[in-house]
Structure 1
Amino acid sequence: MKKIIYTERAPRPIGPYSQGIVAGCYVFISGQIPIDPLTGKIVDGEFSDRVVRVLENIKAIIESVGGSLNDIVKVTVFLRDIGMFQQFNEIYSRYFKEDPPARTVVEVSNLPRGVDIEMEAIAYICRE
């Protein structure tokens, strides 16, 4: 059985997909790009501002189903410029301080709306 996730604290999907899905104990969070959920616009400014927005969107989605960033077990990151890896890591490490999830980072040629970062996550939220 699956449950669709929707929260006003994260951007509305820009295509035919859900913000996330709860399936059993797992939460699958769709790729998040740096869209401000209040304006529906891509975050301007520095790369670091966009990384923060993506992480805040993921945080909002996981929190909407009673989880936290600590419940995330796998993250996949898509960067248009792998040269931004160091800067990305600096910000990412503020969100995942202890026991960080497994992670893959890949460079891609393009992303939706021409953004420079997209991130998806999988969480495990069963409480035993």
Structure 2
Amino acid sequence: MKNASLFIIILFLFGMSSCQQNNKDISFHKSHEPKKAQAPFSDVVEANGFLFLAGQVGMNHATRTLVKGGIEAETKQCLENIKAVLVEHESSLDRVVKCTVILKDINDFTVFNDVYKTYFPNKPARTTFAASGLAVGANIEIDVVAVK
């Protein structure tokens, strides 16, 4: 896992140094969700064939509320949200190379991990940690880096 993370960091740094030379290689994409169009961040930043997704929580974007059912339901919705963004940008979950997972409670790790495994059979590199105070009272937030 250390080698995979190191490889991603090297690719990122190499890619970013070439992007600095040519900013037209970087695209900042607004959300495809109409209610998020005015958000002060990009849902996806595309650079040198990589897609850097903003963090997703277990929010139903149609209602703009967290799904009910705790960590299991929120993890599923979070990953479905990521899947939708990737599809919108001509990629997919099997092209994800790195995940960062933030749990509100590290004791939710086993339940989260059981759901996560069903979405990522390729086993991308991953960092998981716990922190309090996630956006909108979420139990989980996940961001990913994928290859287009």
TM-score by length of 1: 0.88
Query: How far apart are the structure 2 equivalents of 1:11 and 1:74?
Result: 27
Work out the CA distance in 2 between the residues paired with 1:100 and 1:13.
31
Give the fraction of aligned pairs with identical amino acids, expressed as a percent.
Answer: 33
Alignment correspondent of 1:119 = 142
Deviation string, structure 1 residues 3-46 (Cα, Å, up to 9, x no partner): 233323x9727841111111120000001111111111111223
Q: CA deviation at 1:119?
A: 0.5
Correspondence for 2:73 among 36, 40, 49: 49
State how 1:15-34 maps to structure 2 within 5 Å: 15-34=39-58
Higher Rg = 2
Provide the secondary structure at the position in 2 that maps to 1:103: strand
Residue 94 of structure 2 corresponds to 70
Asked if the contact 2:70–2:139 (Cα under 8 Å) also holds between the matched residues in 1, the reply is: no
Q: 2:99–2:143: 8 Å Cα contact kept in structure 1?
A: yes
Rounded Cα–Cα distance in structure 2 between residues aligned with 1:69 and 1:82: 24
* Alpha-carbon distance between aligned partners in 1 of 2:37 and 2:59, rounded to the nearest angstrom: 10
Give me the TM-score of the superposition, normalised by structure 2: 0.77
Which protein has greater RCO, CA pairs closer than 8 Å, 6+ apart? Answer: 1
5+ long unaligned stretches in structure 2 = 1-24
Aligned length: 123
Structure-1 separation of matches of 2:120 and 2:38: 27
Structure 1: any 5+ residue segments left out of the alignment? none
| Conserved? CA contact 1:34–1:115, under 8 Å | yes
